[in-house]
Amino acid sequence: MKTKKRAEFFRDCRDLLSLIHRRRPTAIPAALVTALLESAFPFVNILFGARILDRLLAGGEGVMELVGWMVALDFVLGCGSRVLRWSCRAEALTADELSMAAVAEKCLTMDYQQLETQSIMDKLTRAGEGVTAQGDLFSFLWSLSELLGHGLTVLYALAAVSLLFLPADLPAGGEGWVRALNSPWAALAALVLALAAPLACVPLVRRKNRLSRELHQRSLDGNRRFSTYLSIACDYQLGKDIRTYAMDGMYFAKQDRFWVGFLDLFRKYNFRRSAVQGLIAVVNLATVLIAYLFVGLKAMAGLITVGMVSMQVGAITALAGAVRQAVELIGRVDLQRKYLKEYTEFLAIPSEKYNGTLPVEKRDDGDYDLEFRDVSFRYPNQEQWSLRHVTCRLPKGRKLAVVGPNGAGKTTFIKLLCRLYDPTEGAILLNGIDIRKYDYGEYLSLLSVVFQDFKLFSMKLGESVASSADYDPRRVWECLEKAGMRGRVERMEKGLDTGLFQQEEDGVELSGGEGQKLAIARALYKDAPVVILDEPTAALDPVSEYEIYSRFGEMTAGKTSVYISHRMSSCRFCDVVFVFDGGTIVQQGSHEALLAQDGLYSRLWQAQAQYY
């Protein structure tokens, strides 16, 4: 079990280091060199200090020469290691940033279904929580480089301490205990005793780490609640309702009750942890005591010089300190790699959507034939079918309206068409071939979609229309024109370079209607043969709605288009209507034909038309 754990530890560390190394090959060498210099630095004073003292006690000849060497070395190592530390830090931060970019890219390209799968995204959440509590990839590399530094310190210190093992010429009249002190065995015994203290601390350190882990685990739930309370208090949208409905009393009562337990948890753990921490510090002092006693006795017996005393005490203290800190660091590195390996695992998840290889035939006449053949679908972990036995053909080059009550399966229908999900049963065919067989990217290039919950990002307006950092401004203006947004954008000072929303400097806020028009412009820029608009006028006033309605024909000329809406009026300008209910298509036909039937369609129509 223990070896297995150790193997896992090394494997994870290796994976993480290779993740870092792939992104930034200079980061790890920089950390190595820095550790080398940093650990050497304190030994300059330890070595030279002793020799200076001895030289002084011996009459002071050549002391200033030694001082000169020491100061010069101090300067070079001290200055060099600190300047290097900062560039090493920069390297490590860069490695971390590039790794985050890799994670972002993975999120952006992995299967949509995976993106919506809790267990997969939980990896990121866990890694994120770990990063908050224990540090990111940067601190991981940092810890490792510190660990290496402590290892080197141990080596340097052992080299210095090895001098103690050389027996001296026994002074005249040496008694028994002097001879005993002079033997290498005595030195070994003293060294073992001195190192016993930091090793005795190992269980204490373990305990401290366990307490930290436990606290982290037990506070997850409370942390979540706390941030919920905080976001409630600071959310001005909720603020309206909280004030007018006088809900602050209830809020504070709940918060106060939660607060007591939450803070007590931290207090309890911190008290326990602080006692352990104090104990560790005191136990470690035993090393210094033993060093002084042993080395002092040796000096008193005349076996070593007085200068050697300060040097050996310095070396043994440094040795024990390095061992102690290394023990603590290993614990931290172990915690860090446990969280961070979620990243490497996350990056290694394969995407299934990319299995298709067929290219999509490029056609100028838009002759793409899309067909649902007995398609059924249910969302992962759901028992209920969202679509059941749907068979239909999208009217090529014509306008299709999709209507039905909330929850009838309209949006799911679109999601399947967009390959965001694959059918549970049945198949969707493009020109007679299952869409799963096509290259994913090529298939998606056939579709321009404005989702009901479309997203615009806080970046430059022109880039947002083109979904790319470089774009053809002339075409962007054309699309804005078609979507009815040109005038508004022309009035903006920076035109296409205007930032959107508050994330951008001087970013403009868009009203719901303007956002919808921009999303439509984006769809137009893509210029795909199939255009899908899902509830595009929900937030619009009648005039803007009318604009969209009247432009729809122009926007989709020669294309296959799908228009989903609760506004039944939209069915008037479409050629075919599909009526969804309970996951199936219950009616299909032209508006006039459907209205003539006594069915769901005429009821939906009447519900709205009665007012006009």
| Of residues 351-370, those binding other proteins (CB under 8 A) | none
DSSP string, 562-595: EEE-S-GGGGGG-SEEEEEETTEEEEEE-HHHHH
Cα–Cα distance measured from residue 163 to residue 181, given in angstroms and rounded to the nearest whole number: 14
When the beta carbons of 13 and 409 are compared against other proteins, the nearer one is: 409
Count of residues that interact with other proteins, criterion CB under 8 A:
154
Nearer to other proteins, 11 or 60 (CB): 60
- Bridge-partner residues for 387, per DSSP? 377
Q: What is the DSSP string of 348-398?
A: TPPPSGGG--BPPPP-TT----EEEEEEEE--TT--S-SEEEEEEE--TTS
* 239: contact with other proteins by CB under 8 A: yes
CB of 11 to other proteins, least distance (A): 26
Q: How far apart are CA 609 and CA 600, in angstroms?
A: 14
Closest approach of Cβ 239 to other proteins, in Å?
Answer: 6
C-beta closer to other proteins: residue 94 or 431 = 94
* Residue span binding other proteins (CB under 8 A) among the ranges 12-20, 148-156, 181-189, 245-253: 245-253
Burial pattern 369-393, b for ≥16 Cβ within 10 A else e, equals: ebbbeebbbbeeeeeebbbbebebe
248 binds other proteins per the rule CB under 8 A = yes
Binding mask 135-154 for other proteins (x = CB under 8 A): --------------------
Question: Does residue number 230 form part of the binding site for other proteins (CB under 8 A)?
Answer: yes
- Per CB under 8 A, does 610 bind other proteins? yes
Residue number, 235 or 490, with CB nearest to other proteins: 235
Q: Which stretch binds other proteins (CB under 8 A): 143-151, 375-383, 400-408, 553-561?
A: 400-408
CB atoms within 10 A of CB 522: 22
Nearest CB to other proteins, comparing residues 13 and 30? 30
Q: Name which of residues 368 to 397 contact other proteins (CB under 8 A).
A: none
416 three-state secondary structure: helix
Single residue of 6, 10, 18, 57 touching other proteins by CB under 8 A: 57
Q: How many helices (H) and strands (E) does the chain have?
A: 20, 10
310 interacts with other proteins by CB under 8 A: yes
User: Dihedrals φ, ψ of 525, to 5°?
Assistant: -60, -35
H/E run at residue 402: strand 399-403
Q: Quick one: which of 537, 498, 508 has its CA closest to 520?
A: 537
Binding to other proteins in span 412-431, by CB under 8 A = 415, 418, 420
User: In the stretch 87-126, what mask flags binding to other proteins with x, by CB under 8 A?
Assistant: x--x--xx--xx-xx-xxx-xxx--x--xx----x--x--
- Six token digits for residue 340: 């961070």
Q: Which is nearer to other proteins, 68 or 359 (CB)?
A: 68
Binders of other proteins in range 442-461 (CB under 8 A): 444-445, 447-449, 451, 453-455, 457-459
Q: Which is nearer to other proteins, 28 or 447 (CB)?
A: 447
Binds other proteins (CB under 8 A): choice among 58, 83, 166, 433: 83
Q: Is 72 in the site for other proteins (CB under 8 A)?
A: yes
Residue 432 CB, nearest approach to other proteins (Å): 23
* Contact criterion met (CB below 8 Å) for 386 and 412: yes
Of 235 and 374, CB closest to other proteins = 235
Q: Where are the strands (E) in 167-269, listed by range?
A: none
Q: What is the 3-state secondary structure (H, E, C) of 487-511?
A: HHHHCCCCHHHCEECCCCCCCECCC
Tokens at residue 490, please? Answer: 């022309």
Among 252, 393, 506, 597, binds other proteins (CB under 8 A): 252
Query: Which of 167, 174, 405, 582: binder of other proteins (CB under 8 A)?
Result: 405
Interface residue with other proteins, options 165, 185, 266, 354 (CB under 8 A): 266
Beta-carbon contacts of residue 555 (< 8 Å; ≥ 6 apart)? 482, 483, 520, 524, 531
Footprint on residues 528-547 left by other proteins (CB under 8 A): 538-546
Q: Applying CB under 8 A, does 263 fall inside the site for other proteins?
A: yes
Q: Given CA atoms 603, 607, 610, 612 in this order, what sign does their dihedral have?
A: negative
200 contributes a contact to other proteins by CB under 8 A: no
Q: Cα 187 to the chain's mean position, in Å?
A: 51
CA atoms within 13 A on the CB side of 141: 31
Q: Give the Cβ contact number of residue 227 at 10 Å.
A: 10
Q: Which stretch binds other proteins (CB under 8 A): 199-207, 243-251, 329-337, 551-559?
A: 243-251
Nearer to other proteins, 151 or 302 (CB): 302
Q: How far is the CB of 151 from other proteins (least distance, A)?
A: 25
Minimum Å gap between C-beta 260 and other proteins is 10
Is 570 exposed, middle or buried, given 0-12, 13-18 or 19+ CB atoms closer than 10 A?
buried
Is residue 572 a contact residue for other proteins (CB under 8 A)?
Answer: yes
